[in-house]
Amino acid sequence: MRCMHSTLIALVLAGSASCSHLRPPPADVALTSATLSAPQLRREILETTPPLPHVALTEWPSAYPDAARELDAWMRQYPSGASALSRWAEAHPEQAYALLMWSVSDRNEDVDSMLLTRWDWDAFRDIEAKEHDAVESFVAWARRAPFAAVSLAPYADGLSTLRRARSKSAYRSER
């Protein structure tokens, strides 16, 4: 968890991540890449930043309301893609976790390039081929809301649970 958090903080410090969902680094972390080498910067970040707080899945939408609204809009726009990714994430939790971590850490690499080094991701390749726009949009969401994505990553059933909750609330609002 410390390594993931450090990667995100490094992105913020480097200025490569601009997003309303990002929190600024702690006030006592006054670092610039011009004054420290990359290994020094990583070590300084690891030593000075607290880990991300654990957010229960039931509390995730209220902890990250903007990201939750965007994810909900994505589910409405790509219902079959959201369903396919949800099922895949439950069947392949390690890969789903890796996808979210890759999304926030390798912000300039596209999904096709990422798949070049993941030979055993056949189920995901099938989804990506059939639901390309949904996958690209999901990755873009994770990159816009990296803290929310990292917080959601440990839950293999996260997308499915959020989809079910969305379906229940949509059903209630129609009645």
Confidence check: pLDDT of 2 > 80: no
Note whether 87 and 24 are same-domain residues: no
Structural domains of the chain, count:
2
Of the candidates 89, 105, 96, the one whose C-alpha atom is nearest the C-alpha of residue 3 is 105
Of the candidates 143, 138, 129, 146, the one whose C-alpha atom is nearest the C-alpha of residue 163 is 138
Note whether 84 and 33 are same-domain residues: no
Note whether 38 and 62 are same-domain residues: no
User: Domain range holding 96?
Assistant: 57-174
Note whether 40 and 106 are same-domain residues: no
Note whether 20 and 92 are same-domain residues: no
Gap between the Cα atoms of 69 and 93, Å rounded = 23
Confidence check: pLDDT of 111 > 50: yes
Gap between the Cα atoms of 156 and 150, Å rounded = 12
The mean pLDDT value for 47-57 works out to 61
Note whether 80 and 147 are same-domain residues: yes
Note whether 42 and 123 are same-domain residues: no
Interior angle at CA 63, CA 92 and CA 86, nearest 5: 20
Note whether 118 and 155 are same-domain residues: yes
- With contact defined as beta carbons under 8 Å apart, do 78 and 131 qualify? yes
Per-residue tokens: 14: 């480097």
Note whether 105 and 122 are same-domain residues: yes
Gap between the Cα atoms of 173 and 115, Å rounded = 40
Note whether 43 and 120 are same-domain residues: no
pTM of the model: 0.66
Of residues 58 and 19, more confidence is placed in: 58
